[in-house]
Amino acid sequence: MVVLDPFRRDGTLLPGWTVHNGPQSPPADCRFDTGSPAARSGGTHACGSTAAGAVACWAPRADGHLVCAADAWDRRLFRIPAANLRPVTHAPARPVPLGLELVDGTRWSLRTGGAWGGRADGLTGAYGCVSSCAALHGGSGPGTTTWVLLAPSGASAVDMDAPTWTVRRGLVGNPDVRYPAPTPVPVRRAWFIASTLS
């Protein structure tokens, strides 16, 4: 397990991290912010619509802005305006990884929205492949299908109940098609976030 926490308690960045301005957009609405779903501590944020990409964020300054991770591996954070920012958030009871590396070397990023395909068994795509995806038969399945990590509705895609965590990799595409049963794959590393900001 890798826990990302790029800030010191005083809000300054640790070495190796940088902050850049995000795209010009209206402030991300934090009215319903209960903390990042990938957090292993309080003091993190997830705000706005899925288009904002603000699912793993910190508020190092009381200036109405969030600083967010684009994914689990990029040390360049992006800064966006935020409205209704809550001063206190808590860790979720069962945080989900922001990113995963499987034993085959493929890397997967937590879904933050977008139009993904479906499948007839009701499983949904929870993580998309971001690295070494060519190993998955060219990066996609037959036709208009795509390889994803699958989750039952409302549940985590990662089985954390055994010493070695596993995920289910399978295809999504036409929601009426019964695609082959997903394949269990062990997890090598899982990335979460935390906050030591005072």
The DSSP element (H or E) to which 80 belongs, if any, is strand 76-83
Report the number of distinct structural domains present in the chain: 1
Give CA torsion, residues 31, 2, 168, 139, to 10 deg: 90
Report yes or no on 47 lying in a domain: no
pLDDT, residue 23, reads 80
pLDDT at 189: 98
Considering the domain boundaries, does residue 114 fall inside one? yes
* 21-68: pLDDT as tens digits: 988 889 999 999 999 999 999 999 999 988 788 999 999 998 999 999
| Three-state DSSP class for residue 47 | coil
Residue identified by tokens 């289910």 is 168
Mean pLDDT on 74-97: 95
Contacts of 14 (CB under 8 A, 6+ apart): 5, 6, 7, 8
Q: Is residue 181 part of a domain?
A: yes
- Give the tens place of pLDDT for each residue, 81-91: 999 999 899 99
Residue 133: which domain range? 99-190
The reply to whether 195 falls in a domain is no
Looking at residue 186, what is its pLDDT? Answer: 98
- Cα(185)–Cα(187) distance, rounded to whole angstroms? 7
pLDDT value at residue 49: 85
pLDDT of residue 194: 98
Confidence of residue 138 (pLDDT cuts 50, 70, 90): very low
Q: Is the pLDDT of residue 190 over 80?
A: yes
Rg of the Cα trace of the chain? 17
Lowest mean pLDDT, pick from 21-30, 70-79, 185-194: 21-30
- Cβ atoms of 126 and 118 within 8 Å: the answer is no
35 found inside a domain: no
Q: Would you state the pLDDT for residue 143? A: 55
Least confident segment among 118-122, 143-147, 148-152: 143-147
Give residue 139's pLDDT band: very low, low, confident or very high (50, 70, 90): very low
Q: Are strands 107-110 and 124-131 parallel, antiparallel or unpaired?
A: antiparallel
CA angle centred on 48, ends 81 and 62, rounded to 5°? 35
Contact between residue 72 and residue 78 where contact means Cβ atoms under 8 Å apart = no
Q: What is the pTM of this model?
A: 0.92
Residue 120 maps to a domain: yes
- Whole-number Å distance between alpha carbons of 86 and 81: 13
